[in-house]
Chains A and B, each alone.
Chain A
């Protein structure tokens, strides 16, 4: 079956530090890949996505590249801000069926210090 593995957390960084959050996946076929973000007390929001190999998703200074050869979709940001403190979820959606359900990783908490 499909699965998503995220690096263990939590992660604490100082403002303006470089961020990498690792994500690898197992899936049949050719899944679409997503990063969702959950700010404190809120629901999840789509941060970025990539639908095929070598695609790069980007939003709000975050980037992730779909690497089929390493089955990875690592999230990066060059300079984090305090407002980036949140829980980040990597997810995949296999495109094989009429309704492609999301499979989530466990999530990782990011705290950014001023």
Chain B
């Protein structure tokens, strides 16, 4: 019963490096989301998708890109890592996009 799986769990990047955060879900949900969580700031929406082939920006999309080629996968790409991208990243999926979301365990990213 996997649900939403994120990899890696932890990563340290140097400034200017690139990486992809992986997210996959096995619940056949159409809606998927990427959030970042900063201390004392709650969760901010980076990008979301309402189905394969469709993505859109959230509140804080700068410095990130996404793709959604399949229902299951929703990777998040950081092209030129900056210290401001140090955060915990959560992927989530939803069956109906009406607020009930299932979250992965998160990826803790540090940019130095």
Q: Do A and B bind each other?
A: yes
The chain A residues found within 8 Å of chain B, CB to CB, are: 4, 32, 34, 41-46, 49, 89, 91-93, 95, 98-102, 104-107
Measured CA separation A41–B92 after assembly (Å): 16
Question: In the complex, how many angstroms separate the beta carbon of B111 from the nearest chain A beta carbon?
Answer: 21
Measured CA separation A68–B1 after assembly (Å): 37
| Cβ contact of B40, chosen from A43, A44, A106, cutoff 8 A | A106
Secondary structure class of chain A's binding surface, majority of residues: strand
Q: Are A98 and B101 in contact (CB under 8 A)?
A: no
Q: Are A43 and B42 in contact (CB under 8 A)?
A: no
Measured CA separation A100–B48 after assembly (Å): 11
Q: Are A99 and B50 in contact (CB under 8 A)?
A: yes
| Cβ contact of B99, chosen from A32, A44, A45, A98, cutoff 8 A | A32
Q: B58: which A residues are within 8 A, CB to CB?
A: 101
Q: Are A102 and B42 in contact (CB under 8 A)?
A: no
CB-based nearest A residue for B54: A99
Q: Are B101 and A102 in contact (CB under 8 A)?
A: yes
Measured CA separation A95–B98 after assembly (Å): 7
The answer to whether B2 has its CB under 8 Å from any CB of chain A is no
| A-B contact sample (8 more), CB < 8 A, given A45-B103, A99-B97 | A4-B42, A32-B98, A44-B103, A95-B98, A102-B33, A106-B41, A106-B42, A107-B40
The answer to whether B31 has its CB under 8 Å from any CB of chain A is yes
Q: A95: which B residues are within 8 A, CB to CB?
A: 98
Measured CA separation A89–B105 after assembly (Å): 16
The answer to whether B43 has its CB under 8 Å from any CB of chain A is yes
The answer to whether B4 has its CB under 8 Å from any CB of chain A is yes
Q: Are A42 and B31 in contact (CB under 8 A)?
A: no
Question: In chain B between 13 and 31, which residues have their CB closer than 8 angstroms to a CB of chain A?
Answer: 31
Measured CA separation A100–B33 after assembly (Å): 12
Q: Are B42 and A34 in contact (CB under 8 A)?
A: no
Q: A49-B100, A99-B48 are in contact. Are A43 and B31 (CB under 8 A)?
A: no
